[in-house]
Amino acid sequence: MSSFIDQTRHIKLKAAAFDELIGLVLANSVLEQVIYAVRINPEETVLKEQLQQVGIQLEMNGAAPISDGPRIQGLKQRIDREAKAVKQSFYPNPKSTVINACD
């Protein structure tokens, strides 16, 4: 015998909770494809210039290219934050309860 909790009903009821997370993951995937594209087109420049790559890396990772620069939240940090929020909506932290046992 086995038992498990099926979250399908809850996922369907809270489908909108995944919108932001799916969008961020898709944006991150597209930026990774742009960075690592090997396509060469004579009319268009290939994204190999360091300045453009640094800008995209900054957008993805939130790391400033210089130590004195402002720290921004990158896509990866936003994905982590949003994933935690979605998980929290499905598995909220239970409130602690006190049980007094009398002999």
pTM of the model: 0.62
Neighbours of 89 (CB within 10 A): 12
66 — pLDDT class (breaks 50, 70, 90): low
Domain boundaries, the chain: 13-90
Distance of CA 17 to the CA centre of its chain: 13
In tens, the pLDDT along 21-44 reads: 999 999 888 888 877 766 666 555
Chain-wide mean pLDDT for the chain?
76
CA pair distance 54, 60, nearest whole angstrom: 10
CA pair distance 64, 60, nearest whole angstrom: 11
Q: Which of 20, 11, 33 is nearest to 89 (CA)?
A: 11
CA pair distance 11, 34, nearest whole angstrom: 32
